[in-house]
Amino acid sequence: MNIIISEIENKDNKRQQISFSETIEEFNTQVPVVANFDVSITGQIIRIRGNIHAEVNLVCDVCLKEFTKIFDIEVDEAYTKGCLNDSYSKELELKEDGFIEDLNGKNEIDITDFVYQCVILNVPNKLVCDINCKGDENINKYIKKEIPDPRLEIFKTIKIEKDK
């Protein structure tokens, strides 16, 4: 699914509501990703605001069991039709509204790819099925137990007296 920029520009208010409901193969689930966007154009800037609801099947890093994580993501992205490279110097102060993707003259935005990127960027680095996950017994027997450093044994004999 694509957003055609020229179609939005031809509308009187230069706005379009977009509903997205597709299954994304990479998420390994049969449940479609649902998203609603408000796309608006002001001058050279195309702004996409809305929310995404996705269920993604992941594998726990601790117990290696598959689990489903639900994402509800608020989106506020900006694109520009023109080229940004010419208008900025080599050094630029980054501000909140400074993250704008350059379309380099393209007339459309791939919504499926946009939704995929938004969800993937919200997947945590460490995947855990449950906050209390201790792992699987079959896996834990292969994990090397921590061996204390013998040089630190001396600290076990230190006695601390409390000041009176």
Higher pLDDT, 92 or 66: 66
CA 49, 33, 135 angle in degrees (round to 5)?
115
Nearest to 46 by CA among 14, 80, 74: 80
**Selection from 17-31, 45-59, 148-162 with the highest mean pLDDT:** 45-59
Do residues 83 and 104 lie in contact, with contact meaning Cβ atoms separated by under 8 Å?
yes
Q: pLDDT per residue over 128-145, tens digit each?
A: 888 888 777 766 666 666
Confidence of residue 91 (pLDDT cuts 50, 70, 90): low
Q: pLDDT per residue over 23-42, tens digit each?
A: 888 888 888 999 999 988 88
CA–CA distance, 140 with 30 (Å, rounded to integer)? 32
Counting Cα atoms < 13 Å in the Cβ hemisphere of 107 gives: 6
| pLDDT at residue 52, rounded to an integer | 94
Question: What separation, in Å, do the N-terminal and C-terminal C-alpha atoms of the chain show?
Answer: 75
